Amino acid sequence: MAQNFSLKDQLFNEEKTRYLAGLLAAADADFDAEAFEVQVMSRLLDLELKERMAWIAECLQQAIPGALPDIAPRLLSALPPPLDPSKTDDDFGDFIFAPLGDWVVAVGLDHPDLALDVLDELTQRFSMEWAIRPFLNAHQDKVLDRMQAWCAHDSYHVRRLVSEGTRPRLPWGQAVGLELTDPLPLLDRLHSDPTRYVTRSVANHLNDITKKDPDLVLDRLLQWREGGQDADELRWMTSHTLRGLVKSGHPGAMKMLGFDPDAAISADIQVNDEARIGGALTFDVSLGGTGDQPVLIDYIIHFQRPGGKTSAKVHKLKQTALRDGALTLSKTHKLKGNATTFKLVPGPHRLEVQVNGHVRAGVVFQLLE
């Protein structure tokens, strides 16, 4: 990605604002598209991404005032056709419709039934996972009841909203007052969904739960093995669900994925050449064990941080098997010197290899400027 790329400018800009204004004006002759566009653009470019969503929603409230029963017909009549129902993944929709969810929250919390009807339609144009959460907090039972019906919805976007909207740790999402077990009956119905867009959300939801209760997730995955989902898809879901536990070396996750955490495996690491900021760390890993046993291999770099602290980052290396009790792998890890999110610091660093959840070997190397 180019250094000067701006996601907020790509998603919320003058062109997108004009598109939204045009939809509203085409459905409502009283809507002043030009005035709306001028108001939005008067502040938009000074705001961050989530702030842009809130600002556009605020401008919508001013342009079309009233409670949800007043604005819902005008809003729904302005929507373009739903997203392509023949797809099964990678069709998130247009971000410019996200402020419509903020608008519904602002004017619809006292009208939950109508609001859920509107969100049903909106999420078929852009995911309403953030907008549904204030309604979960204000009307939990009503929303969960509606979600039971949504689990059988014809649109996979609506079905995904059930799982994504109830996630314990939804990025950018308002916290919700649900117990970890509250959405599980919904996930029991969604885990066998035929679309990857939904099953990925279910896996992400379970991955959130693993941060607090790994055993709850492992037990649920075992139950789902009894049937209802394609075996290959369930294996993918299990792997995606347990990715956080794999990084931490959780033995139960390793066993569920078919890797023996107690296997007698030896390891050796050899760092090749100098490691420099802006260059790369190259190394070889040699493993020894018994027979052709499966192995899941990660490597961990303990980075120096300013002030003398260290920060460990776990990276995937290989999911494979020993061959006649041996395996050798090589890896080149780029050491970007211009990353904005993580600044490299020269000095001693530690490299470790983790096999089936256990660190098997480690070596110190010098990171040079």
Q: What would the pLDDT profile of 140-176 be if each residue is shown by its tens digit?
A: 999 999 999 999 999 999 999 999 999 999 999 999 9
Distance CA(40)–CA(49), nearest Å, equals 14
Q: Which two tokens stand for residue 181?
A: 């077990």
CA-based nearest residue to 126, from 236, 23, 276: 23
Contacts of 205 (CB under 8 A, 6+ apart): 163, 164, 166, 167, 168, 183, 187
pLDDT at 306: 83
Residue 107 one-letter amino acid: V
Residue 263 CA neighbour count, 13 Å, CB half: 27
Stretches where the chain sits below pLDDT 50 are: 1-2
Burial 307-336 (b: 16+ CB within 10 A, else e): eeeeeeebeebbeeebeeeebeeebeeebe
CA dihedral sign, ordered 167, 169, 175, 179: positive
pLDDT at 5: 64
Domains belonging to the chain, first-starting first, are 66-204 (no CATH), 266-368 (2.60.40.10)
- Find residue 280's DSSP bridge partners: 334
- 3-class DSSP state of 361: strand
pLDDT at 86: 87
Distance CA(314)–CA(353), nearest Å, equals 9
CB 315 within 8 A of CB 267: no
Q: Is 348 exposed, middle or buried (0-12, 13-18, 19+ CB in 10 A)?
A: exposed
pLDDT at 308: 80
pTM of the complete model: 0.90
Q: Kindly report the CA angle at 302 between 297 and 308, in degrees rounded to 5? A: 170
Q: Which two tokens stand for residue 133?
A: 């959460």
The Cβ of residue 240 has, within 10 Å, a number of other Cβ atoms equal to 15
CB 171 within 8 A of CB 181: no
Integer CA distances (angstroms), 65 to 52, 60, 104, 112, 367, in order:
19, 8, 12, 18, 59
CB 104 within 8 A of CB 60: no
